[in-house]
Amino acid sequence: MSDEWQECMDHCVEVAKEAGKMIREALQKDISIMEKSSPVDLVTETDRKVEQLIISSIKEKYPTHSVIGEESVAAGASSVLTDDPTWIIDPIDGTTNFVHRFPFVCVSIGFTVKKEVEFGIVYSCVEDKMYTARKGKGAFCNGVPIKVSGQEDIKQSLVLTEMMFNKNPERFKTMLANVKSILTIPVHGIRSPGSAAINMCLVACGSADAYYHMGIYCWDMAGGAAIIREAGGVIVDISGGPFDLMSRRLIVASTKAIADRIAKEITQFDVGRDDAKVQ
């Protein structure tokens, strides 16, 4: 099946370029903003148009494949991962960035076979950076090989996470306490670029040494998971155990030593699972 999956990946890159062009054009116009689950959970008409573009292209070429898309799930579609070849799509990862025209905005697509990520692409379309990776074939940015920093010392590390309001006061308190715990190790600093997929790619190319998050979704992680692994990085559950694509939580790091230290510092809270439809 290797040639077939390569053909799928090539198609994925082309449709991501087309989607990125649509996003860049939309940034030049007025952006219509809507709320989903909360005042900080945003969606735009462009999110929906881009997802429709990607899914239509995939279904036309690969009608028997399954699809999990962020906006489709928000509209009531299933997010259960099966053994079928499955495309997992985030049409705009970094919607809040998009709304504010903050430049870290990307299209993220992961492709799974038998529940394992076969390849992933993340197209940071404002920067025009196309990150790609396929199992056993390495990771690339615009065709140039990338690799993690290899940093072993947490105290010499730059760590990424995302911070936003949470209406659950205990979760909000825990999130802030976790940031304090990481900062006071101490690390060189914490950054929040605003896109999970781009965060993973920044670790993959050595610009940061780790990224942790609880409360994201499979479409935020699928594309980046392939890229971080093929760049030589580590991806685990927030507990330090095996990574689960449907768990809504992860630690990505340049080395196992850093991943283990972050897992030790983090206090967990329940975020549910994608396949249980618990939000």
Phi and psi of 90, rounded to 5°?
-115, 105
CATH code where residue 103 lies: 3.30.540.10
- Residues 51 and 81 reside in one and the same domain: yes
pLDDT at 278: 41
Catalytic one of 47, 51, 71, 93: 93
Is the pLDDT score of 191 beyond 80? Answer: yes
Tally of domains in the chain: 2
Q: What is the C-alpha separation between 119 and 116, in angstroms, rounded?
A: 9
Catalytic one of 118, 220, 230, 274: 220
The pLDDT of 3-23, averaged and rounded, is 95
- Residues 133 and 168 reside in one and the same domain: no
Phi and psi of 255, rounded to 5°?
-145, 160
- Residues 45 and 102 reside in one and the same domain: yes
- Residues 105 and 162 reside in one and the same domain: no
Q: Where are the alpha helices (DSSP H) in 75-134?
A: 95-100
- Residues 6 and 141 reside in one and the same domain: yes
In which element (H, E) is residue 261 found?
helix 256-265
Rounded to the nearest 10 degrees, what angle do helices 196-204 and 218-230 cross at? 10
Taking only the tens place, the pLDDT of each residue in 44-101 is 789 889 999 999 999 999 999 999 998 888 777 778 899 999 999 999 999 999 999 9
CATH code where residue 187 lies: 3.40.190.80
The pLDDT of 211-222, averaged and rounded, is 96
Residue tagged 């799930």 (tokens): 73
The pLDDT of 133-159, averaged and rounded, is 98
pLDDT at 30: 78
Instruction: Tell me how far CA of residue 153 lies from CA of 70, 157, 207, in angstroms.
Output: 36, 7, 15
Is the pLDDT score of 4 beyond 90? Answer: no
95 labelled catalytic: yes
- Residues 40 and 127 reside in one and the same domain: yes
- Residues 65 and 172 reside in one and the same domain: no
30 labelled catalytic: no
- Residues 119 and 26 reside in one and the same domain: yes
- Residues 13 and 132 reside in one and the same domain: yes
220 labelled catalytic: yes
- Residues 141 and 10 reside in one and the same domain: yes
Q: How confident is the model at residue 33 (pLDDT cuts 50, 70, 90)?
A: confident
Higher pLDDT pick, 76 / 17: 17
Q: What is the C-alpha separation between 134 and 9, in angstroms, rounded?
A: 8
Catalytic one of 58, 68, 92, 266: 92
Catalytic one of 47, 71, 90, 209: 90
Catalytic one of 47, 51, 70, 71: 70
- Identify the domain containing residue 180 by its residue range: 154-276
116 labelled catalytic: no
Catalytic one of 44, 95, 132, 161: 95
Look at residues 145, 176, 191 and tell me which one is the last residue of a structural domain: 145
Taking only Cα atoms into account, the Rg of the chain, rounded to an integer number of angstroms, comes to 17
- Residues 34 and 161 reside in one and the same domain: no
92 labelled catalytic: yes
**Residue 85: is the preceding peptide bond cis (ω within 30°)?**
no
Look at residues 145, 177, 196 and tell me which one is the last residue of a structural domain: 145
Taking only the tens place, the pLDDT of each residue in 174-190 is 999 999 999 999 999 99
237 labelled catalytic: no
Q: Which two tokens stand for residue 213?
A: 């998050």
Look at residues 124, 145, 166 and tell me which one is the last residue of a structural domain: 145
- Residues 123 and 172 reside in one and the same domain: no
Name the least confident of 10-14, 35-39, 199-203. 35-39
Higher pLDDT pick, 199 / 277: 199
Q: Which two tokens stand for residue 278?
A: 């618990």
